[in-house]
Amino acid sequence: MSRVAADRFESAYTRSLLPAAAAKLSARRAIRGQAGVAPSQAWALGGAVILPGRGLAHGWVTVEGATVAEVSESKPTLARALETGGVILPGLIDLHGHPEWNVFAAWEPPRLYPNRAAWRSSAECAAVITRPMSALTKDFTDKEFLAVLARYAEIRALVGGTTAIQGSSGEYPTAPQALVRHLDLAPFGDANAAALIDPLSPSKAADRTKIITGMSNGTITAFYAHLAEGVDAASRDEFKAFDELNLLTEATVVIHGTALAPRQLGAMREIGAKLVWSPQSNLRLYGKTTAAATALKLGLPLGLGADWLPSGSVGLLAELQVARRVLAAQGARLDAATLVEVVTQRAAEIAGLAARLGQIAVGRPADLLVLERLHDDPFESVCRSERGSVELVAIGGHLLYGRDDWFAALEPAKAQAGATGETVWAWGRKMRLDVAAADDPTGHHPPLPGLQATRAQILARYLRAGPIFA
């Protein structure tokens, strides 16, 4: 790879999204159910319903327009009702990822590394990730194709039940074209988040100053920072340097924290910071992961992220299963209800969006997930679910992915007109994927393609792309 290409890769990998950039995006953002086109007819889903702090053995969630209109134990009479027989819960929130890089299949690290810098600079990473991405994107200058990669990542997240993700680039997708909610891109019009992948880098001094100012005046309520990702002394020392730069505040969300000692986790808890954990990626790259059980014992808010496909999990449901096993090995046996909270309600709190996401409640955005019933306990059923268990996903009241027959039942007029998107076969089941809800209703931005066209564009350049339904 040329020096120019390497520099562009580093810039792309470490790109930060600061409030000013997010504010520009939010000015043009089409909020589904606000500026966007909302569904016109009420519909309702029946099944086990997961609510804040409890669950309904059987209930109904009614959606009208973009929001939840009612949660009841009786079947509604003024809505098109569908009995799912499954588990209905809020859409999952992935608090750490690098979405556009999920075009690559899982990478098999040939050795363990001491820290993030070691594997990023390795010859093997260059061979399987860096050089292919540089070639695919013409050294990151092909913005239209980068948007296609982002759409592929969004579809991958969506079919796994994830409706909100962190880690998106500030340049793509164009805000009104987003399919899922991007936590970095002012998903509700307020630019409350900032992110730095290399927060200690000298080149990030100006960014740090802006972030510190934003955290001080309250405009930044979630600052995502990769920190202490590794197992060596250099990784452990990052925490002190981070603190000395005045970056550790109640708005700080530390991603990874693999090398953090109990006293450092305790210091985070005292100041009100949060932690996001990606055990699968940690274990595969370093052979060790964050002391998550200790963090929980100390009362440190903990979220979960699938990281990226090359070293992490295929999605948040898979990462949840990894996290459960690792927590048990660390001596913490969380009940299923708490684990579900980690990827819904608690994740929304960490993101500074607790008033909008992470719960099913009247008046909130209808970001819903229906999972196949796998256990009598609905919470345990969620924890045992995989991507093939996903039966329906809606964001802002729009049906985006789900069983083909359910689309026909809930949107008969659209189904009759052939306007419910495209057919996809997912783990032996006929499903529908309708990305049209992400189209810019102002018409100022051309719509991004659905799966078939997205896949075709990617495979034309890179036949080894990681499959979504595998």
Structure tokens at 5: 């290409």
Upstream peptide bond of 378 is cis (omega within 30 degrees of 0): no
Q: In order of start, what are the domains of the chain with their CATH numbers?
A: 43-92+364-443 (2.30.40.10)
Angle ∠(196,29,412) on CA atoms, nearest 5: 120
Distance CA 445, CA 431 (A): 28
3-class DSSP assignment, residue 287: coil
- Dihedral pair phi/psi, residue 345, rounded to 5°: -60, -50
Q: Which residue has the higher pLDDT, 176 or 138?
A: 138
User: Given this model, what pLDDT does residue 438 score?
Assistant: 61
- The pTM assigned to this predicted structure is 0.93
Average pLDDT on 290-310 reads 97
User: Given this model, what pLDDT does residue 177 score?
Assistant: 72
The band of 172, judged by pLDDT with boundaries at 50, 70 and 90, is: confident
Angle ∠(227,228,233) on CA atoms, nearest 5: 150
User: Given this model, what pLDDT does residue 288 score?
Assistant: 97
CB contact at 8 A, 289 and 305? no
User: Given this model, what pLDDT does residue 27 score?
Assistant: 41
Is the pLDDT score of 318 beyond 70?
Answer: yes
Using CA atoms, how far residue 12 sits from 130, 166, 211, 365, in Å, is 11, 16, 19, 32
How does DSSP classify residue 79? Answer: S
The band of 40, judged by pLDDT with boundaries at 50, 70 and 90, is: low
Upstream peptide bond of 173 is cis (omega within 30 degrees of 0): yes
- Dihedral pair phi/psi, residue 53, rounded to 5°: 75, 0
Contacts within 8 Å (CB) and 24+ apart, 268-273: 268/300, 269/295, 269/298, 269/299, 269/300, 273/248, 273/249, 273/300
CB contact at 8 A, 228 and 236? yes
Average pLDDT on 25-54 reads 65
How would you class 353 by CB atoms within 10 Å of its CB: exposed for 0-12, middle for 13-18, buried for 19 or more?
buried
Structure tokens at 108: 């098999």
Distance CA 150, CA 10 (A): 18
CB contact at 8 A, 158 and 431? no
Structure tokens at 254: 């530390």
The pLDDT tens digits of the residues spanning 396-408 come to 999 999 999 999 9
Mean pLDDT of the chain: 90
Our measurement of the distance from residue 205's CA atom to the centroid of its chain's CA atoms, rounded to an integer in Å, reads 27
